[in-house]
Amino acid sequence: MNYFSSNFKLGILGGGQLGKMMLYDTRKFDIYTCVIDPSPEAPSRLACDEFTVGDLLDYDTVVNFGKKVDVLTFEIENVNVDALETLEDQGVKVFPSSKTLRTIQNKATQKLFYRDNTIPTADFSRFAHTSEIEDAVGNGGLSYPFVWKSARFGYDGQGVKVVRRYTDLIDLPNVECIAEKLIPFKNELAVIVARNEKGDLKTYPVVEMEFHPEANQVEYVICPARIPDAIAKKAELVALKTAAAFKHVGLLAVEMFQTENDEILVNEVAPRPHNSGHYSIEASYTSQFEQQLRCILNLPLGNTESKVAGVMVNLVGAEDYTGDVVYKNIEKIMAMDGVTPHIYGKKETRPFRKMGHVTIVNKDIAVAREVAEKVKRTIEVISE
């Protein structure tokens, strides 16, 4: 199949920042792209060849969009999976597959999948409604503390809460959910696994994630992770085992905990480019976004090694600001060596909304981390 400067059409469900960054590479390769997103202001609208406004959860909308492309992928999990199944039956290639997405889309089925495939993960209980948790605690089936996770539609710290006492349950939505054992851990790690249709596999280096204590969002992604080689190897093997179980085509970002006794437990996965791989645009031989294209188009996989150490800082809306966005002090960070900001194109900021990221590269990871701290202190995402 000729993908380059041809009649081939790639469809992307979702026009957010992940789609926008993938379009850097479709532009580089001159691959014709069609994007659909519910927002007429979606970041991807300017960089694709055809942009459609439409509801990603509406069956007919997704089927009609998918019919006009040759390969369909997604940059967000909240899409209509029945529509993807129909398109597969009609001969449209959908990567990752509807089967992979159906398992991952629901955190309860995702956790059951790990259990069924002997993939190490934290113990959990599944509930049809949050209201059932109180009874489970009352009859001794569950004890505090635990992590409550909504089974559907959670992202970026939404739909997740640490429950330490009864009062923490009060404001939670009454939805299908899981209660997961709270794991004391040393590190949160992630490995991105790339797989094409031929079954070729490559992993990116293990990264370490530092979280914001209040927002439950990643503040820094550090590559390579500052962990012993033996732990990195263990994390890579768990990620490969997880990817093998899914038999996915595309990228699979595997988020893991390194426990106090150096066990590796899978927290959750994402079947798409992921926040933990943004550093790769500047720091790797092949960015995660180019690799996603190579995977879903069954092309040879690119080199996943890093050219240089990298730290990624998320740019999120400052707490007390809502309105037209201003990136205060952006010139100051651009004056620092090895610093590259990525602005996602969202016009309106609000507290903790992901508005962009900054990559810091340096031969020395310790120096990169210091500069990242400086970047974090300097730039502010505020409104006019």
Q: Annotated binding site for ATP: which residue ranges? A: 107, 149, 180-183, 188, 267-268
Q: Is residue 64 part of a domain?
A: yes
Residue 114 in domain: no
The pTM assigned to this predicted structure is 0.95
* Residue type for position 164: R
The predicted pLDDT at position 211 comes to 83
Residues 226 and 289 in one domain: yes
Side chain identity at 334, as an amino acid letter?
Answer: M
Asked whether residue 163 falls in the same domain as residue 198, the answer is no
83 neighbors 63 (Cβ within 8 angstroms)? yes
Tokens for 182, please give them. 């709270």
Domains contained in the chain, number? 3
Let me know whether 130 and 85 are in one domain.
no
Nearest to 155 by CA among 217, 95, 84: 217
User: Does 148 share its domain with 239?
Assistant: no
Judge if 69 and 161 occupy the same domain: no
Token output for 365? 């990871």
310 and 255 both lie in a single domain: yes
Where residue 142 sits, what CATH number does that domain have?
Answer: 3.30.1490.20
User: Looking at the structure, do residues 301 and 379 belong to the same domain, yes or no?
Assistant: yes
Annotated binding-site ranges: 107, 149, 180-183, 188, 267-268
Structural domain contains residue 157: yes
349 and 279 in one domain?
Answer: yes
Q: Which domain holds residue 282?
A: 185-383
Q: Do 171 and 192 lie in a common domain?
A: no
- Give the pairing of strands 380-383 and 348-349: unpaired
Dist. CA 119–CA 125, nearest whole Å: 16
Q: In Å, how far from its chain's centre is CA 150?
A: 17
**Same domain, yes or no: 311 and 169:** no
Write out the chain's pLDDT in tens, 384 residues.
899 999 999 999 999 999 999 999 999 999 999 999 999 999 999 999 999 999 999 999 999 999 999 999 999 999 999 999 999 999 999 999 999 999 999 999 999 999 999 999 999 999 999 999 988 998 988 999 999 999 997 766 678 999 999 899 988 999 999 999 999 999 999 999 999 999 999 999 999 999 877 766 788 999 999 999 999 999 999 999 999 999 999 999 999 999 999 999 999 999 999 999 999 999 999 999 999 999 999 999 999 999 999 999 999 999 999 999 999 999 999 999 999 999 999 999 999 999 999 999 999 999 999 999 999 999 999 998
Shared domain check, 71 and 34: yes
101 domain-assigned: no
The angle formed by the CA atoms of residues 360, 362 and 364, to the nearest 5 degrees, is: 125
CA distance 38 to 40: 7
Question: Which residue(s) pair with 2 in the sheet?
Answer: none
